A and B are shown apart, each in its own frame.
Chain A
Amino acid sequence: MRRIKDPSRLEDAKAEAKASWNSLFCGDRPIVCTGMSTCGISAGAREPRDLMRSLLSEEGLEAKYVDVGCLGLCYSEPLLYIKKPGRPMICYGNVSPKTARSLARSILINDESGDSALGAIPELSCGEISSIPSIWEHPMLKSQVRIALKNCGIIDPENLGHYIARGGYAALAKTIGITPEAVIEEVKTSGLRGRGGAGFPTGMKWEFCRKSKGDEKYLICNADEGDPGAFMDRSVLEGDPHAVIEGMLIAAYAIGCTQGFIYCRAEYPLALRRLEVALQQAKDAGFLGENILGSGFDFDITIKEGAGAFVCGEETALMASIEGKRGMPRTRPPFPANAGLWSKPTNINNVETLANLPSIIDKGGKWYSAFGIGRSRGTKTLALAGAINRPGLIEVPMGMNLRQIIFDIGGGVPGGKACKGVLTGGPSGGCIPASNLDIPMDYEAITQAGSIVGSGSMIVIDEDTCIVDLARFFLAFTQRESCGKCTPCRIGTKQMLGLLEKITQGQATNADLAKLEAVAQAVRSGSLCGLGAGSPNPVLTSLRYFRPEYEEHIVHKHCPSMACSGLTSHSIDQSKCKGCGLCVEACPVGAILGDHKKPHRIDQERCIKCGACILACPGKFSAISKRSGAVLEVA
């Protein structure tokens, strides 16, 4: 794209981008779009796409191929959208090479029979789609409000023209036409709060930094999404990187920053690559660099790749890491707004916070604050995963209740199992029990329930997940990731982990449980940073709601969920086993012994308790079972 020197030329560029968008989506060639985010790729999206391409080109049909980001329907990935000339763009889910073959055939003969699938995508269709249900009527999408995700799964993230055709960089042009104070005021009106976890009002944070004295100020985009179970920021970065860059430009102008950094974790190679591409495009087009759109405003962005440390999501640790040090937090004050990166005033915002800004400036703070409840305004992206029928990425208005999110949008728990609860806030959050799901997605309400909204991960657990084992899992994580600077976190997490291991192995006493609670309180009140202070949350919240489960492990040495491997075993009922050998073949570690046609046995030393044998054993025998308690070999 040519360099855009002033806002009026942006209008020209938009008209041009729209024209080429229309000629692509209203043209006479078939179009195949593929959801190519990390989730789509890991689900195998490349295979059907490439197959489709080779099948069509063999027939001499020149179709157009567009790779898009994640639409959020991750449960039915790989996703392919297909548009035949003169027809709407149709979204197909769970596309295997076999379905790719039949889709290719339907393009070749221009067959309309398969034109329903998951629904039509109006944004990518040229005109009328009324005969076909829109994808936005899909149960997972129907009650969503997509602001941060508005382009995800719709545009090619590596195509700046697509972003501009959908209204991109118009908010930047509007921003540089008003005063920085007016921008801050608009963001304050929107009620936007930091989406990384802390929930601090964004406009107020900017004002502190704007008013802070200093000739040079920095802006940092925190893309170090380290919470296990969180993938909102990854999806935004992979699906719409320019929205984050435009958000940074708006923030930088409002605060008065000339240099920006995006600190992105190394575990997201695709996000890093797409960011690099987008940054170069923005530089070439004149959205970054000197005298942006002729306004005299200078701003540039550098990517800093993380190196694998969870604690670097904490802002002071993140800055230490950019400075090339061990990523350890420090005490505040001084706050980053006064003395941050290299002791200069610094403002740090999370990816999702920034991705909301273009729409807020474009449509106004009032428009944004119309969504939400109480002090939680706007929308929140959430990563749904775990024991749920439709895992994926969603964006809902703040205030929607958790039950609606899990059951209406997520489709509930699979396999007819009971929902036990939902984990929010990652390792600093907790498990809200199924009986308490009528609370709204609201910073204050979730905190009151003993968890946190956090960055937005929501992992649903069913009856098969042991709450004690889960607390142990989180403590193992925080203990491993503890930077070691302050004593309560360094030693406290180790002690908590040790006690939880004792409980899950059936070796603990009631005194250990009391000790666990005491240590948890000490770590919560004594740690230096939020990650340490939040680390006892999974323990304290699960004790609040699920204490009998802890007691069952301690008193009866029994894991009710049959999940704690130290308290469970698999065994073969010798009277039922016919020695067919199917379990022997299924066992990945060769733990099943026995002669053909004679009852088999499980070597408990080798068994990894994966359950493959139970699945392999024919239903008419049902000889293998899992039990909790003493290891038994039924005679």
Chain B
Amino acid sequence: MINSSAQKTDAECFTVPQHTTIMGITMDDKVKDLMGSLGRGRGSLIPLLQRVQSEFGYLPRETVAAISDALVISESEVYGVATFYSEFKLKKPGEHTFKVCMGTSCYVSGGGTLLSQIIRRLGVRPGETTSDGKYSLDAVACLGCCSQSPTVVLDDVIHGNVTPSTLESMISELENGSEAL
């Protein structure tokens, strides 16, 4: 099983000893599988990183050597690209992810307050995951849904015209849901 990476920095995630298997599956095979019809070379790097991330929810350290081999580019270049784009995560995200839109329209209509509310309520900072691995929080640039601002995305479902009280009920629903289990 993959070690918990919640407390590590991006750089540390990339310097852990190299493993090439996750739960017994060889990453070379897994990456080859995900490559599908993508060609070799740099042009395929971002699409491949996207496929790996959509498979695992992040880019596990274990996949990097395999990506670098498959595309014939160095691991440091893979790291360079993975850390440039905000979409890519080197740490395992929480069970639930809140994305709070910080576009201009959401900001002027109270998005900042919603962000502070999640920070206080769940004890998690933007870009981080709670230590129990339950919640991740991201402050994202404009989602292009400005007419319904402020907006919050919870686990890929977009909610418009969010108020502190509707956000509170979203949070308590998650918390109560997990107690019931």
Contacts and interface: CB of A to CB of B under 8 A. Distances in A.
B147 A75 contact: yes
Interface string B135-162: 0000011111111110100001011110
Interface residues of A, number: 64
Contacts of A228: 102-105, 107, 141-142
Contacts of A44: 160
A588 interface: yes
Contacts of B3: none
Interface stretch (B10-18, B20-28, B45-53): B45-53
A588 B88 contact: no
Interface size bucket, B side?
A: 35 or more
A415 interface: no
Given A42-B151, A231-B144, A324 B44 contact: yes
Interface string B34-73: 0000000111111101100000000000000000000000
Contact of B50 (A307, A483, A610): A307
Contacts of B80: 326
Interface stretch (A127-135, A243-251, A383-391, A499-507): A383-391
Contact of A323 (B43, B108, B120, B144): B43
A460 to B, nearest CB: 9
Contact of B85 (A77, A308, A477, A588): A308
A321 interface: yes
B116 A608 contact: yes
A38 interface: yes
B87 interface: yes
A391 B106 CA distance: 12
Contact of A473 (B104, B144, B146): B104
A307 B49 contact: yes
Contacts of A325: 42, 81
A44 B166 CA distance: 14
A308 B113 contact: no
A324 B81 contact: yes
B9 interface: no
A400 interface: no
A543 interface: no
Given A323-B43, A391-B147, A610 B140 contact: no
B109 interface: yes
B178 interface: no
A589 B53 CA distance: 34
A371 interface: no
A230 B46 contact: no
Q: Which among B81, B105, B107, B160 has the highest number of chain A CB atoms within 10 Å?
A: B105
A253 interface: no
Contact of A327 (B49, B84, B109, B110): B84
A179 B167 CA distance: 58
B121 interface: yes
A305 interface: yes
A589 B141 contact: no
A307 B104 contact: no
A610 B148 contact: no
Interface string B94-121: 0000000011110111100100110011
B158 A38 contact: yes
A535 B56 CA distance: 36
A306 B144 CA distance: 15
B46 A324 contact: yes
A226 interface: yes
A94 B178 CA distance: 33
B43 A267 contact: no
B87 A307 contact: yes
A586 interface: yes
A419 interface: no
A38 B81 contact: no
A48 interface: no
Contacts of A268: 144
A234 interface: yes
B143 A267 contact: yes
Nearest to B48: A324
B86 interface: yes
A423 B104 contact: yes
B164 A385 contact: no
Nearest to A616: B165
Contact of B45 (A306, A324, A327, A586): A324
B117 A589 contact: yes
A606 B120 contact: yes
Given A226-B141, A266-B87, A459 B165 contact: no
A308 B148 contact: no
Interface in A387-436: 387, 391-393, 423, 426
B105 A308 contact: no
Contacts of A465: 108
A77 B50 CA distance: 33
A285 B141 CA distance: 37
A479 B103 CA distance: 14
Q: Which among B43, B81, B104, B145 has the highest number of chain A CB atoms within 10 Å?
A: B104
A608 B147 contact: no
Q: Which among A42, A322, A608 has the highest number of chain B CB atoms within 10 Å?
A: A42
A612 B164 contact: yes
A474 B103 CA distance: 9
Contacts of A91: none
A589 to B, nearest CB: 5
Interface in A229-262: 229-231, 234
A469 B79 CA distance: 35
B164 to A, nearest CB: 4
B73 to A, nearest CB: 8
Contacts of B41: 324
Contact of A229 (B105, B113, B159): B105
A470 B50 contact: no
Nearest to A481: B141
Interface of A: 38-39, 41-44, 74-75, 77, 225-231, 234, 266-269, 304-310, 321-327, 383-387, 391-393, 423, 426, 457, 459, 461, 465, 470, 473-474, 477, 481, 483, 586, 588-589, 606, 608-612
The 10 A-B residue pairs with the shortest CB-CB distance, nearest first, are A74-B147, A307-B85, A324-B42, A42-B160, A228-B103, A385-B146, A308-B87, A308-B86, A228-B142, A231-B144
Interface of B: 41-47, 49-50, 80-81, 84-88, 102-105, 107-110, 113, 116-117, 120-121, 140-149, 151, 156, 158-161, 164-165, 167-168
Given A589-B121, A610-B116, 10 more contacts: A39-B148, A44-B160, A77-B147, A228-B102, A228-B104, A230-B146, A304-B46, A305-B46, A327-B85, A586-B165
7 contacts: A38-B143, A229-B104, A229-B142, A267-B140, A305-B50, A308-B86, A588-B168
